Amino acid sequence: MFSKALFKQSMKANWIKWTCVTVATCVMLAIVIIALGSLAIDNIRDSLKTVFAQADQESVLKESTIDGYELYNSTGTFEDSLETLKVTNIYGRNALETIWSLVKSSYDAALNEFQVNNEGAELNEENLEIVKINARDSLLELLNNMLPNLGQTIPGFQLNFSEEELSQFVYIMLCAYENNKTASDVETMATEIENAYADYVYDMAYEMFLQQEDSTEDLAKASAEASKEMVKVAMGNYSKETYSEEYFKSLASVYVPETLIYEQVLRTFGVDDTSSDEERAEAEKYAVVSKILASTSISTYELWIEEYTKNAEKYPEVKDVKESAREQASASITDQLNDIDEEVAIALKELGDMDIYGLIIGNLFYRVAGILLPMVYVIMVANGLLAGQVDSGSMAYVLSTPTKRRTVTVTQMTYLMLSLLAMFLILTVVSVISIWIVGGNDFTINFAEILILNLGAFLTMFAFAGFCFMCSSIFNRTKYSLSIGGGISIFMLVCTILGLFGSDVVPLAMRIDQMNFFNYLSIISLFDATSILTGGISWLWKFGILALIGIVTFIVGVFCFEKKDLPL
Amino acid sequence: MEEKEEVIVATDLTKDYKNNRGIFDLNFTVYKGETFGFVGTNGSGKTTTIRHIMGFIKPQKGDVKVLGMDSWKESCEIKKYVSYVPGEIAFPDLTTGIAFFKAQAELLKLKNMDYCNELIKRLQLDPSANLKKMSKGMKQKTAIVAALMAEKDILILDEPTTGLDPLMRETFLELIKEEKAKGKTILMSSQMFDELEAVCDRVALIFDGKIIDIADINALKNSDTKAYKIEFISKEDYLKFKKLKFKIIRDQEKYSQVTIQIEDKNINRLFKVLKNYELKFISEVKFNLEKHFKEILAEKSKGGNDVQ
């Protein structure tokens, strides 16, 4: 069944081809792995990823800044009124005391009424809220009755609140009273009101941010905190001289990023309490950029408001104007991409998520480039082992000795399989060494995966070897053996190249889905590199099919050769 | 006659390649120690017959038995007794003649290379030459050495002398005669009648896939019937001679020439007759296989025409 002499003869006839193909393929593989590893192609991917992460952060930052600014800006009138109540204002002193006493009586009355109606009820936060709402409603009623001549009732008190603002104002006063019921001097009262106002802004900001798209509790808290800080600082420094829109702007662009950046944005870049000074310095760089971004976004926001206010027909409501302006001013690079074409944005995102090692090594090298030369070897050698020798007539010298045809086929088949196996064993060693050299966590292909990839490439070539061997056995003429065996093999390889452009390993930007059709024409599709690299198991049964193709075609080859006429 | 051992027996051997190509109902027997020749034009079926004997192709009908074994079913076993020189010379993908001989020896499980070396010397072959760069004659010599070196009982040679120069052909024919003297059974095909005539005991003429005739060279050569060509000086003598009852096999009136066939025992009668004639010359016409077969073919086609 096996002839050592013939095996030696086949080795002598083919060792040059074998050596050339093995060396060339190994060199190619080593260059691919080492080049990929040392050039760190993943940097591109990482920076793309960072761009998108930063774009998201940028968007949040801008939105928060604008919201904070808007929130604070909208309470400008409140500030104005508060000014009149301030301790420093001599006219406000009496007014504050008057209002404080009004608030005190309303609150006490409401509390009393609540306690009478709900005997034994605990005075928890929820119930106190009800008390405050009741007190606010009764106080508002009283104030509304008094409003037309409020100026006379409370000297120095000039209100130009809207109804809603008045309700807010009253509620804040109630909160302030609740926090410190024993406050007797004006200084304390003013501080309590300021604190209550800051808390109110915080709650409002929190609610507002939570309602936003993609908002998290963390972000809402951070933004609300920033707004509260702004209010506090603003009130602390408040004076008519410094009051201006510019001042609000700078407050917003300082406090929002301060809070947001350090607590939230930078956390996504891996900076926390345990970070080193260097990392903090790096983070602060981002913070500076963020401040600039924040202040720019506010300017942009105002420009857009101005722009939209001009188009009165399109935006009749102030609310719409602000909403649109906010949207425009907070747009990040990804939002702008979305405006151009959603596909482009997805494609770019996918480019960022792409596994470049898997694509180049798994799909491009092991499924196409790396098996091209072994395939040429298989086509040439399989043909030369049988059909070539029958065609030339040299097989006569073997078969005129007491050597069975089956011995010939089995020996030649063994040579073909062993030479392929040796080739891929060497390739495996080279690939493992190359990966060991480049090493590192950045390299996404591990040793187990590279071993399976090598096995897959071998099984693919095993199937082709069987097929070519069968053709070589069936045909007496080299031209038929080569054109059927080699032709179909090369056809399948080309289909795999074309099919690559339709498979999902290629980024969307260069993918043509219809090209996926070619993958159905090639048995190389059974070598599922993507499944191997993504930790699937479907590659396993596909490997089985490849092995089966090889075994069946080899056996068919052996039997065909025994049955046919040989022109020797 | 003593019982001769049958070595190769073909029975109704048929392989139809369509379009009147192939071989049809071949029957022949090659006996032990005999040198059997196949002669025929290109495509007449010589090589196809030899491939059947070697077991390379399967007969459609009939069979070939070598030493009693079926050539298709037991082709491997038969190869233990058969050496072969293929008609088309193409060597395995090896570098030199030496490498080739060594590889063949391994396949043949042959240890002793003495006879091989002797053959190389006899044929003046340079075995260290590159196989691919060999001339046609060199290749032919290499193939012959590879076949002869195993010293098997049966030699099958498919047109072994093509490409050899006349001197080499002489040497080769000498070799064949030596092998024959060793008692080997030889079957060879050729397009050259003279070389078959020189070495073969019997020669089969194959034409259009059929054996037309098997000539026994020895019998023909040593036949007691000979042919003589006679040219007369005068036309009258020529015409007068023709009226005598000699068997005339060729008549050339233009030259006043006749060729007659006459048994040895009647030779004196001829000379007595010829005493009275004026001859230009008389010469014996030697036996010639080519002529012999041509005559047969001519008769055959005449017969064929008659039928039509």
Are residues B63 and B95 both part of a single domain?
yes
Over the stretch A448-504, which tens digit does the pLDDT of each residue have?
Answer: 888 999 999 999 999 999 999 999 999 999 999 999 999 999 999 999 999 988 888
Query: What residues in A contact B103, CB-CB < 8 Å?
Result: 5, 8-9
Q: Give the contacts of A324 (CB within 8 A, at least 6 positions apart).
A: A304, A308, A315
Q: Has residue B10 been placed in a domain? A: yes
Is pLDDT above 80 for B172? yes
- Which chain B residues touch A393 with a CB distance below 8 Å? 86, 88-90
Any idea which residue has 């030493």 for tokens? B67
Distance of alpha carbon A132 from alpha carbon A365, whole angstroms: 73
Give residue A79's pLDDT band: very low, low, confident or very high (50, 70, 90).
low
Per-residue pLDDT band for A236 (boundaries 50, 70, 90) equals low
**The last residue of a domain, from among B219, B251, B272:** B219
Can you say whether the dihedral through the CA atoms of B267, B273, B276, B280 is positive or negative?
negative
Q: What is the bridge-based pairing of β-strands B69-70 and B61-66? A: antiparallel
CATH code of residue B83:
3.40.50.300
For B93, which residue in chain A has the nearest alpha carbon?
Answer: A13
**pLDDT at position A240, please?**
46
Our CA-based measurement puts residue A438 at a distance from the nearest CA of chain B, in whole angstroms, of 42
**Are the CB atoms for B292 and B197 separated by under 8 Å?**
no
Q: Any chain B CB within 8 A of the CB of A316?
A: no
Q: Which amino acid is at A340?
A: I
More reliable by pLDDT, A103 or A164: A103
Residues B272, B181 share a domain: no
Give per-residue pLDDT as tens, B81-102.
Answer: 999 998 888 888 888 989 999 9
Query: CB of A12 within 8 Å of any CB in chain B?
Result: yes
* Length of chain A (residues): 568
Q: Are residues B80 and B213 in the same domain?
A: yes
- For residues A374 and A379, give the distance between their C-alpha atoms in angstroms, rounded to a whole number: 9
Task: In whole angstroms, give the CA distance from residue A407 to residue B87.
Answer: 24
- Do B136 and B238 sit in the same domain of this protein? no
- When divided into structural domains, chain B yields a total of 2
Banded pLDDT at A148 (limits 50, 70, 90): low
CATH of the domain at B282: 3.30.70.80
Both B50 and B64 in a single domain? yes
**Which residues make beta-bridge pairs with B177?**
none
Q: How many CB pairs under 8 A join A and B?
A: 85
Query: Could you tell me which chain B residue has the CA closest to the CA of A390?
Result: B90
Indicate whether B11 belongs to any domain: yes
* Lowest model confidence (mean pLDDT) among A416-425, A540-549, B33-42: B33-42
CA–CA gap between residue A397 and residue A442 (Å, rounded) = 57
Q: How far apart are CA B225 and CA B235, in angstroms?
A: 27
Closest residue in chain B to residue A565, using alpha carbons only: B57
**pLDDT attached to residue A547:** 95
Q: Closest Cα of chain A to B85: distance in Å?
A: 8
- Is A496:A507 a contact under the CB 8 Å cutoff? no
Radius of gyration of chain A, Cα coordinates, nearest whole angstrom: 40
Annotate A287-354 with DSSP letters as a single string: HHHHHHHHHHHHHHHHHHHHHHHH-TTT--SHHHHHHHHHHHHT--HHHHHHHH-HHHHHHHHHHHH-
CB-based contact B92 A398, cutoff 8 Å: yes
Best of B56, B84, B85 to disrupt the A interface by mutation (most A CBs within 10 Å)? B56
Q: Are residues B212 and B112 in the same domain?
A: yes
Identity of the amino acid at A18: W
Residue B51 belongs to some domain of the structure: yes
Residue of A3, A13, A565 with shortest CB distance to B92: A13
> B109 and B194 share a domain?
yes
Q: Is A566 on the interface with B (CB under 8 A)?
A: yes
Residues B135 and B187 in one domain: yes
Q: What is the enclosing helix (H) or strand (E) of A47?
A: helix A42-74
Asked, for residue B302, whether it belongs to a domain, the answer is no
User: What residues make up the domain containing B238?
Assistant: 225-286
ipTM entry: 0.84
**Domain layout of chain A by residue ranges:** 4-38+354-563, 59-331
Residues 398-427 of A with CB under 8 A from B: 398-405
Are B237 and B201 in a shared domain? no
Residue B307 within a domain: no
Same domain, B245 and B96: no
- DSSP bridge partners of B28: B10
Quick one: closest CA in B to A381, which residue? B93
pTM, rounded to two decimals: 0.68
Q: Which residues of A touch B86 (CB under 8 A)?
A: 393, 396-397, 400, 568
B208 Cα to chain A: minimum distance (Å): 19
- B146 and B231 assigned to the same domain: no
Cβ-based interface (< 8 Å): residues of B facing A:
51, 54, 56-58, 75-77, 79-80, 82-84, 86, 88-95, 99, 103-104, 106-109, 146-147, 150
Same domain for B280 and B160: no
